[in-house]
Amino acid sequence: MSSVQYVYSFGGGSADGRADMKNLLGGKGANLAEMANLGIPVPAGFTLTTEVCTSYYENARNYPSELGAQVDAALARVEEIMGAKFGDPVEPLLVSVRSGARSSMPGMMETVLNVGLCSATIPGLIAKTGNPRFVYDAYRRLIMMYSDVVMEKAAGIEPAEGQGIRQQLDRMLEKVKHSGGFATDADIPEGELKQLVERFKAKVREVLGTDFPDDPREQLWGGIGAVFQSWNGRRAVSYRRIEGIPDEWGTAVNVQAMVFGNMGDTSATGVAFTRNPATGDSRFYGEWLPNAQGEDVVAGIRTPNPLNEATKNDQNQHLPSLETAMPEVYRELHAIRDRLERHYTDMQDIEFTIQDGRLWMLQTRTGKRTGTAALNMAMDMLAEGLIDDRTAVMRVKPAQLDELLHPLVDPAAEKRAKPLAKGLPAGPGGAVGKVVFSAAEAVAWTKRGETVLLVREETNPEDVEGMRAAVGILTGRGGMTSHAALVARGWGKCCIVGAGALDIDVVGKTIQADGKVLREGDVLTLNGTRGLVYEGALPMIDATENPRFQEFMKLADAIRVMKVRTNADTPDDALNAIGFGAEGIGLFRTEHMFYGKGSEQPLFILRKMIMAGSEAERRAALDELFPFVKRDMKATMEVMGERPVTIRLLDPPLHEFVPQGDEERAKLAAALGITADELDRRAEELHETNPMMGHRGVRLGVTYPEISEMQFRAILEAAHELRTEGKACFPEIMVPVTGMKAELDHQKAIATRIHAELCSKYGVDAIAHLYGTMIEIPRAALTADEIARTCEFFSFGTNDLTQMTFGFSRDDIGGFLGDYLDKKILPVDPFQVIDRDSVGVLIEIAIEKGRGARPKLKVGICGEHGGEPSSVEFCHLAGMDYVSCSPFRVPIARLAAAQAQIEHPRE
Ligand code: ADP
Ligand code: MG
Ligand code: MG
């Protein structure tokens, strides 16, 4: 009989699993197996697969029937390797029960240490170690974690704020420390601990109504069940939403022999990164604590010690490094660091424990890093020969570039300002915001449109939503591996941790520092790159052109096959976009000249044109408008030089420009020589019930050919003038809102006539340009073969195309999109990420039909999607020639296009 393997063993120099089995074993389990296979010292253990989790939830929270026997067999193997027995009174084996999802969810899921300690095994462990203090310390930790994770959370008990069992026990522990005058947990003597565990057990019974289990097997299965339950805990679910991790993935459970960092001064525990995850600096970087267990470092209970001398900072300068305290172990650890980096060819985030001078590895995973670090590591590892060009290009996520281009605190202003406090630089860039003291407030204030900084003594997984909402995070405690630092780094969010000089009182909502008191709503500036906190708002600047960034982008540019253009309407935007690497303009909106700075005069003339009562009046207004339009187009084309510029004909419904104020209306009526009533009547005529689908785009040009005529003339004259001035320019005329070929033919006839007229006027054969259309109406996509007979290029207007395909109003979707995402009716906002199943299919049909009719048809996209990485990948797959996006997203699109080519090579 063959049965499914639900349990995979590791340890003793070999393992059933491997690093590439993350889907089945979770990240932690797969990497523990890999390290065991590499011969790195890993305490033996076994992994219950993610399939157990899936099956558990599919079968009303019951385990597969084979599981019990497989766990027994794996446990027996661990016992053999470790030379101890689970539940044995003489040689007791203790284990940890650890969660481990496919992709890491720091602190979101549960882990229980020291499972197997009970009245039967305590005396044996004391006799074996001769260290009763250690045993009672381990026991009190077990009670604290187990009652919290298994007896409360997994049981679905929702205690009142501050009344969780863990918090109640924590307060009892604090009290013992306080009344006995013990500085840290590690200073509490045996006698006190022994009494404390008895009081802990009484408290658990009192609060939760059940006894703390004294049977090792019950503890083990309780722990396993709790980890599976924690997959559907509130925090884990909310983290998955933010990170886009599917609910179906499930978690694995790792059961692993305990090793103890809390056995005295020759024992320790630590967390390290093979390189600095904040800056990318290639030196080994980490934190450790003597006589401590696992989570003490991450929890920010004590300020951890630095790993080595070279990476000490202001906060931990005075503390001993592992390098000096335990030189031999440090050397061994350093060798493992080198080994892991060579093996994984990437930066690793590792956990280790030293038990009585002996080193054990407890975890390795590819470390999260800031965008700056990602860039620096990619370029360093390329130079070191650890990785090749393509791998380097894959190492920076397009979204991380955003962070590299993010604002920084103006160094000049910073020089003059005096910092209020200094902490650790845990998340990059600068942030200015109002102080709030809880995650809930951070969310609420942000909803109201405020920009906030979340200030906490330390953060925990319950705070993630508030951390997300805030523009920056500041904590008083914790090191570079604390929860806040880990999460902020993953998101590339500005963050400072361990600013110890700040006295933060989250209940009273004050920060005291330097004799000052700051309150909720007061403004601070954070420099997350340097760890400096300032009072008030300091000015910010754009990240300066970093040569490393340029080099990296050059690598990406050499790989990609799609061009990247920008959507720009002014010479300034165009220049900015060229700085970001734009290779053309994919969308120049003429109507832009009627909004904002300097628009008063042309807008007034445009209004006269709109309100004209006859063609003659309209033509007179258009003649007046013409020089403005030509000047505007010419200025942007001039900046772009030899890069193509796609100029879209006037698109919006005309009524959008009708003045609303009485005074403006009176002025306009006077200029037109009509009465106010007559003007009101004409304005009323323009009113449409559904203007988004009304008289706009090409439809205006069909009704009023003279409007198109004026624009064709402006574009072609501007182009001719630039060329006679000896400048290059390549206009592409784009007709919007097209649904049928006949519309394009109608407009093309006008363009052809104007072109001929100008050629004879200037005595030239031709004024080079392209004639094309936006594809933003499903009918246009479906009849693209026809349309391509008239057009030399297509540009997909995916904003409108999405609106028309879904029947979702772009302007009103906000009212219900949240419900659709929460209820998983939509996986993502289709206005941000192209819906490949519908809009994507229309695009594919249009490209296939279009190129069928005109093989050289040029194809691009100019909707918002053109700067969104997954949509850029789609455009690559669909065979587009270019994407176009806002100037700031140009680098993101360049990188996304390169990564798409690496993953799906084209031509
Ligand atoms: P997380 O995913 O939250 O990091 P882990 O499962 O890694 O949770 O465990 C939490 C802490 O307990 C870590 O510091 C880890 O190193 C420590 N730990 C886990 N298992 C053991 C073990 N068998 N022996 C000693 N420490 C352990
Ligand atoms: Mg861990
Ligand atoms: Mg449109």
The 10 Å Cβ neighbour count of residue 641 is 14
Of the listed ranges 491-500, 709-718, 847-856, the least confidently predicted one is 491-500
Query: Which ligand is in closest contact with the Cα of 651?
Result: 3
Cβ-contact 427, 277 below 8 angstroms: no
Name the closest-CA residue to atom 17, ligand 1: 294
d(Cα 317, Cα 330) in Å, to the nearest integer?
18
- At residue 490, does pLDDT exceed 70? no
Q: Do the bridges between strand 563-567 and strand 882-885 make them parallel or antiparallel, or are there none, so unpaired?
A: parallel
Q: What pLDDT was estimated at residue 545? A: 59
Residues 331-370: tens digit of each pLDDT: 999 999 999 999 999 999 999 999 999 999 999 999 999 8
Q: Is 96 in the pocket of ligand 1 (CB under 6 A)?
A: yes
Q: Please pick, among 494, 729, 791, 862, the residue that the annotation labels catalytic.
A: 862
d(Cα 136, Cα 170) in Å, to the nearest integer?
16
Half-sphere exposure of 422 (CA within 13 A, CB side): 7
Confidence band (pLDDT; 50, 70, 90) for 735?
Answer: very high
- Residue 15 buriedness (CB in 10 A; 0-12 / 13-18 / 19+): buried
- At residue 105, does pLDDT exceed 70? yes
Atom of ligand 1 nearest to the CA of 298: 14
Which of 32, 35, 94, 98 maximizes ligand 1 atoms within 8 Å of its Cβ, making it the mutation to test the pocket?
Answer: 98
Residues 602-642: tens digit of each pLDDT: 999 999 999 998 999 999 999 999 999 999 999 999 999 99
Residues 845-891: tens digit of each pLDDT: 999 999 999 999 999 999 889 999 999 999 999 999 999 998 888 99
The CA 430 to ligand 2 mean position distance, Å, reads 29
Q: What pLDDT was estimated at residue 63? A: 96
Alpha-carbon separation of residue 609 from 66, 259, 633, 679, 707 (angstroms): 81, 82, 19, 12, 9
Q: Please pick, among 53, 118, 406, 483, the residue that the annotation labels catalytic.
A: 483
Residue 483 falls in the annotated catalytic set: yes
What is the 3 state secondary structure string of 191-239? HHHHHHHHHHHHHHHHHHCCCCCCCHHHHHHHHHHHHHHHCCCHHHHHH
Per-residue pLDDT averaged across 460-464, rounded?
82
The CA 101 to ligand 2 mean position distance, Å, reads 11
DSSP letters of 20-48? GGHHHHHHHHHHHHHHHHTT-----EEEE
Residues 202-213: tens digit of each pLDDT: 999 999 999 999
d(Cα 779, Cα 693) in Å, to the nearest integer?
13
Residue type at 476 in one-letter notation: G
d(Cα 407, Cα 466) in Å, to the nearest integer?
21
The CA 98 to ligand 1 mean position distance, Å, reads 7
Per-residue pLDDT averaged across 418-427, rounded?
88
Q: Which residues 6+ apart lie within 8 Å of 734 measured at CB?
A: 587, 646, 647, 648, 649, 772, 773, 774, 793, 795
Q: Helix crossing, 615-640 with 600-610: angle to 10°?
A: 140
Q: Is 582 in the pocket of ligand 1 (CB under 6 A)?
A: no
- Residue 502 buriedness (CB in 10 A; 0-12 / 13-18 / 19+): buried
DSSP letters of 433-444? EEEE-SHHHHHH
For the chain, how are helix, strand and coil distributed in percent, rounded to 5? 50, 15, 35
CA 279, chain centre distance (Å) = 18
Q: Is 267 in the pocket of ligand 1 (CB under 6 A)?
A: no
The CA 685 to ligand 3 mean position distance, Å, reads 23
Cβ-contact 134, 262 below 8 angstroms: yes
The CA 863 to ligand 1 mean position distance, Å, reads 46
d(Cα 351, Cα 356) in Å, to the nearest integer?
17
- At residue 907, does pLDDT exceed 80? no
Looking at per-residue confidence, does 823 or 647 come out higher? 647
Helix (H, G, I), strand (E, B) or coil at 730: strand
Which of 32, 113, 117, 364 maximizes ligand 1 atoms within 8 Å of its Cβ, making it the mutation to test the pocket?
Answer: 113
Q: Is 351 in the pocket of ligand 1 (CB under 6 A)?
A: yes
Q: What pLDDT was estimated at residue 571? A: 93
The CA 363 to ligand 2 mean position distance, Å, reads 6
DSSP letters of 839-888? HHHHHHHHHHHHHHH-TT-EEEE-SGGGGSHHHHHHHHHTT-SEEEE-GG
Confidence band (pLDDT; 50, 70, 90) for 301?
Answer: low
Q: What pLDDT was estimated at residue 1? A: 44
Residue 53 falls in the annotated catalytic set: no
Mean pLDDT of the chain: 92
Atom of ligand 1 nearest to the CA of 105: 2
Name the closest-CA residue to atom 22, ligand 1: 258
Query: Which ligand is in closest contact with the Cα of 82?
Result: 1
d(Cα 494, Cα 483) in Å, to the nearest integer?
14
The 10 Å Cβ neighbour count of residue 598 is 12
- At residue 543, does pLDDT exceed 70? no
Residues 131-188: tens digit of each pLDDT: 999 999 999 999 999 999 999 988 888 898 889 999 999 999 999 999 999 988 888 9
Helix (H, G, I), strand (E, B) or coil at 566: strand
The CA 862 to ligand 3 mean position distance, Å, reads 9
Atom of ligand 1 nearest to the CA of 111: 6
Helices (H) and strands (E) in the chain, counts: 34, 34
Name the closest-CA residue to atom 1, ligand 1: 107
- At residue 761, does pLDDT exceed 50? yes
Phi, psi at 681, each rounded to 5°: -65, -45
Q: Is 371 in the pocket of ligand 1 (CB under 6 A)?
A: no
Query: Which ligand is in closest contact with the Cα of 43?
Result: 1
355 DSSP β-pair partners: 358
Whose CA is closest to 367, among 344, 387, 388?
A: 344
